[in-house]
Amino acid sequence: MKTGLQRQEENIKFLRSVPLLQNLPTDKLAKIADVLEVDFYHEGDFIIREGAVGDTFFIINKGEVQVTQKIAGFDDPKEIRRLDRGQYFGEKALLSEDRRTANVIALAPGVECLTVDRESFNSLIGDLNELKEKDY
Ligand code: 6JR
């Protein structure tokens, strides 16, 4: 059995390996590790739906996701990229207080994400320059 403390230490170690969070001091990483939740998704699950309202930021801990977006004139959304362990998504709706800009779908065999809610995102992550400068 893993204790809560072991889980917390594992999460801090993983967060330290996430390029976005690389320059954060340990006390901030510990705060993120305190508030994050772990979510699991099966292959094909829509983690995010384009156009929905959203209040959650995601960091991929295991697996891979497909990002798709509606293209004017086409029925089916088109794949724009894939993301895997250590990468993040869901920041755009939080930064702009707007709707989700794309679909994010779990690929096989499933996905584990660390999630942070809007309030914690605002106080711990939202100010990072990489996020504000991100230009897809
Ligand atoms: N574009 C998430 C990953 C992209 C990408 C291009 C865009 C927008 P969200 O998909 O955050 O939820 O994290 O909106 O909260 O190439 N993602 N690659 N979004 N938007 C999003 C990102 C992630 C969906 C992308 C994304 C655009 C292009 C033109 C508006 C106008």
How would you label 42-63 residue by residue, b for 16+ Cβ within 10 Å and e otherwise? Answer: eeeeebbebeeebebbbbbbeb
Ranges under pLDDT 50 in the chain: none
User: Is the minimum distance from the CB of 81 to ligand 1 under 6 angstroms?
Assistant: yes
pLDDT digit string, tens, across residues 49-86:
999 999 999 999 999 999 999 999 999 999 999 999 99
CB of 111 shorter than 6 A to ligand 1: no
**Tokens of residue 13, six digits:** 């170690």
Q: Is the CB of 89 under 6 A from ligand 1?
A: yes
This complex has an ipTM of 0.98
